[in-house]
Chain A
Amino acid sequence: QKEVEQDPGPLSVPEGAIVSLNCTYSNSAFQYFMWYRQYSRKGPELLMYTYSSGNKEDGRFTAQVDKSSKYISLFIRDSQPSDSATYLCAMSGGGGSYIPTFGRGTSLIVHP
């Protein structure tokens, strides 16, 4: 079992839809959870950063962490064609160098 599992997709939705992207993980030591967005032929960019369990909202984006289930989610409201990208989850433990483990990414396509 990989440490971080993420469905590669592609996930295709119509403009305006609510999108749910998810990752599961096996390492209970993970405390820091991140979502990166990667446009085609670009480097990943940090989208959301959360510590421990709970929700964090930023505009149309909400990150949710459920440590008891080892499950994290990213919700995108009112999705736009400009949201079409690959979304990578990443997580790291506390202490040391906080080196994250990345999921392989989910490809999202939002069509007009």
Chain B
Amino acid sequence: DAGVIQSPRHEVTEMGQEVTLRCKPISGHDYLFWYRQTMMRGLELLIYFNNNVPIDDSGMPEDRFSAKMPNASFSTLKIQPSEPRDSAVYFCASRTGTRGYTFGSGTRLTVV
């Protein structure tokens, strides 16, 4: 099993540009989560999906953030327009059942 795969690993973009982060969950996992991690705030849940359906997006900070899961093997997190305060590490994680998550290696986003 290749685990949760995220791309790109690093992204540097200019303020105002659109950023798209990608995630491939583990096959058979029915939950997918997007988290953001910063030194100041730790891990923050942004949104999660169950069977490709968004369940709770209350953690999405602003309308500039959107997420989709068009099928069971792919999800995107989009920021448009990006701002310097969006700089963070973004993690995707997937899960089945009630046990813990499997996290991807993250996308380190820097907005300059």
Contacts and interface: CB of A to CB of B under 8 A. Distances in A.
A73 B12 CA distance: 38
Chain B interface SS verdict (over half): strand
Nearest to A45: B103
A105 B42 contact: yes
Given A43-B91, A97-B48, A97-B50, A104 B102 contact: no
Contact of A90 (B41, B91, B100, B108): B100
Interface of A: 32, 34, 36, 41-46, 49, 88, 90, 97-100, 102-105
Contacts of A41: 105-106, 108
Contacts, number: 48
Nearest to A31: B98
A43 B100 CA distance: 13
Contacts of A90: 100
A98 B45 CA distance: 13
Contacts of B102: 45-46
B42 A98 contact: no
Nearest to B3: A43
The prevalent SS among residues of A at the interface is loop
9 contacts: A42-B105, A44-B91, A46-B99, A97-B56, A99-B45, A99-B56, A102-B42, A102-B43, A104-B43
B93 interface: yes
Contacts of B42: 88, 102-105
Interface in B64-111: 91, 93, 98-106, 108
Contacts of A100: 100-101
Given A43-B106, A99-B48, A102-B43, A49 B100 contact: yes
A88 B102 CA distance: 14
Contacts of A45: 102-103
A45 B48 CA distance: 18
A53 to B, nearest CB: 17
A43 B50 contact: no
A43 B98 contact: no
